[in-house]
Amino acid sequence: MVKVVHYRDKCIGCNACVEADPGRWRMSRKDGKSTLVGGTEKNGIYMTTAGDDEYQSIRIAAQNCPVKIIKTEKIQ
């Protein structure tokens, strides 16, 4: 399993995560920020878990994020 955390408040809406991993990220028409698909929100921070098969694409999205607000790690 992979844990994904998105500090959405700091998103600058650059679209890089969507380009890297369109299955997991979407741009919001409401506020122009990206949204973590399947994420649940707590205090403005979004979190979800995904299968190991998504780890690579999530890591690329995290690496490509210019403000480094996507965090991911493998969990048990």
Q: Name which of 65 and 76 has its Cβ closer to ligand SF4.
A: 65
Q: How far is CA 34 from CA 26, 52, 75, in A?
A: 5, 22, 24
Q: Name which of 49 and 64 has its Cβ closer to ligand SF4.
A: 64
Q: Apex CA 24: angle with CA 69 and CA 68, to 5°?
A: 10
For residue 75, what are its two tokens? 């969990």
Residue 34 CB, nearest approach to ligand SF4 (Å): 4
Residue 52 CB, nearest approach to ligand SF4 (Å): 22
Which amino acid, 1?
Answer: M
Q: Name which of 49 and 63 has its Cβ closer to ligand SF4.
A: 63
Residues in touch with ligand SF4 (CB under 6 A): 11-17, 34, 65-67, 69-70
For residue 35, what are its two tokens? 């949204």
